[in-house]
Structure 1
Amino acid sequence: MNRPIIRTDFSRGEAVGGLVWLSVAAAISVLLEVVYLGTWITLPDGARLAVPYTIPVAFLFNIVLTRTARLWTPNSLVALIPLYVWTGGFLLLMFGVVLTGDQLVASSIRSVGLLVAGLAGGVWPVLRAK
């Protein structure tokens, strides 16, 4: 059976750079997930159907971010840095209404679902590895 080859010959700078890029991806993803959380589809008969597809996207993408971060560090707390950025971005968008006057995160069950799915997806690879 072929086993995957995992590189460990990278410098600390490369690891930091990798985590920075993963954090940038987490910040961009939370912004897009919040913006498109209120997506509606109009059916042929004119009825509208809410389609919060960004909830499973947040779960799956945060799994990818954390798994990739674990390739750069064996420390679980460091591997969760993209999740910290994602959570911080979500909270910033939620409480940013005080600063901007614009409510970006709606007061709805979909927003709660997005937060729970994002956190669960980010923590899953760390819990599963133990």
Structure 2
Amino acid sequence: MSTQQGFVRTDFSRGEAVGGLIWLSVAALISVLLEVVYLGTWVTLPGGARLAVPYTIVLAFLFNMVLTRTARLWSPQQIVAAIPLYVWLAGYLALMMGVVVTGDQLIGSNIRSVLLLFAGLAGGVWPLVRGK
């Protein structure tokens, strides 16, 4: 009994590909929202000292990498495979500009926010640049 490794289906319809990219885009929006919400996580150490733990920066890199790699399964064209990254970036910018609409600053003016942006972009671009 042999196993097939590296098998990728290519017999899907255009509708299935569009549906897959839509679901990946929804995941990107949920991802950016959660990453921004939990970016300011602090852990209280014994003795009362507090330590910033911006773990969502790493999660943004890794999750956007997964989204883009998965999108590449639906389309070999890089511009199409980057749709979840575009949606993630649009969500980040919408949350950044949300202060105009809501009056609340959703993304802080600090280095963690900048690192989140760059990590998300790097994670999404990495599979496109690196190839298969």
Q: Do they superpose with TM above 0.5?
A: yes
- What is the SS of the residue equivalent to 1:41? strand
Total equivalences in the alignment: 130
Q: Cα deviations across residues 29-73 of structure 1 (Å, max 9, x unaligned)?
A: 000000000000000110000000000000000000000000000
| Equivalent residue number for residue 11 of structure 2 | 9
Q: Tell me which amino acid in the other structure corresponds to 2:28.
A: A
2:68 to 66, 69, 87: 66
Task: Output aligned runs, 1:25-40, within 5 Å.
Answer: 25-40=27-42
- How far is 1:109 from its partner? 0.1
* Cα distance in 2 between the residues matched to 1:24 and 1:88: 12
**Partner residue of 2:96?**
94
TM-score normalised per structure 2: 0.96
CA distance in 2, matches of 1:90, 1:110: 13
Residue identity in the other structure for 2:48: G
Structure 2 residue aligned with 1:129: 131
Structure 1 position 84 matched with structure 2 position 79: no
Instruction: Give 1:4 deviation, angstroms.
Output: 1.3
Unaligned residue ranges in structure 1 (runs of 5+):
none
Aligned-CA RMSD value:
1.2
- Cα distance, 1:3 vs structure 2: 3.7
Structure 2 gap segments, 5+ residues each: none
Structure-1 separation of matches of 2:4 and 2:10: 18
